[in-house]
Structure 1
């Protein structure tokens, strides 16, 4: 049983039928979940060590690391039958859109820190860390994933069935 089939098997009906209909979205979400874990781990590691005074820099680096993995997984799995562009053009568009996505991802963290001033000494360290996590890892990721789903299908992998896959035995 494939990863997608395993994931679909745990979804109760009638939601399973919707998920099957939107298999590509399920794969994109699984890639997103995987890269979210990587993004979170890199962000928290950098923010708690070498970039403790620079949370936006830590977030940008974390998103870039996750984006490289995201390109490979999305191209070869989520959107494996989509295409319509030469590979170098596709990759350039993927990274351009992902670059715009970095701004989308980091906007909630920037607003939390610098508009609402949810940082020490205005708030406690605990409040700062919770605000950073919620704004950077939940709100930012949700906004970034929604933007990227739309933009990847529209611009990077626009043609469904452009890269037909040969069934493997």
Structure 2
């Protein structure tokens, strides 16, 4: 049983029923949280050290790295029973949806910086950092997340139960024989 499934099974009713019904969404959210941290660390690292004059480029690079991690985790965990396409076709659609997602994720930062001029010397450094975080990491991420959830279910992993569920052995005595233990 995975960590998320273990937590879900310990929830009281009616939360347990809701969580089980929406387990794909919960797993998608966990993957999103992991990728949010990856994206944020890379974005601020690049923006403050390497690409100080190119924050939108830093955002695109950070989102691309997080997208690669997202593909592996979503395919093998969040949507592991979904499919319906050959792997190369699925990967191409995943990266197409995420290419659009990168644009949607970066757009609020571009608007903040280049249309609203929320950058030095027009505003203080503190206001610039708050505006960058809010536009790139909150607004952009939320818009892109909604689009990705829809795109993954609609185009990338369209068929529910297309791949068999992998049986995860539990470690009680009844399963010891099936694992080759005595």
Question: Which shifted more, 18-27 or 80-89?
Answer: 18-27
Q: Shift of residue 7 of structure 1?
A: 4.6
- Residue 77 in structure 1 maps to residue 77 in structure 2: yes
The 1:113–1:10 alpha-carbon spacing in structure 2 relative to 1, beyond 3 Å, is: farther
Q: Under a length normalisation based on structure 1, what TM-score does the superposition of the two structures give?
A: 0.94
Distance 2:10 2:125 in 1: 39
Structure 2: unaligned runs, 5 residues or longer: 170-182
Q: Name the residue aligned to 1:96.
A: 96
Q: Shift of residue 155 of structure 1?
A: 0.2
Question: Which shifted more, 81-90 or 105-114?
Answer: 105-114
Distance 2:64 2:119 in 1: 24
What are the equivalent positions in structure 2 for 1:62-141 lying under 5 Å apart?
62-141=62-141
Distance 2:12 2:137 in 1: 27
Q: Shift of residue 77 of structure 1?
A: 0.2
Report the RMSD for the aligned CA atoms in angstroms.
Answer: 1.6
Secondary structure of 2:50's aligned partner: coil
The 1:135–1:13 alpha-carbon spacing in structure 2 relative to 1, beyond 3 Å, is: farther
Count of paired positions: 169
Distance 1:126 1:67 in 2: 29
Structure 1: unaligned runs, 5 residues or longer: none
Q: Which has the larger radius of gyration?
A: 2
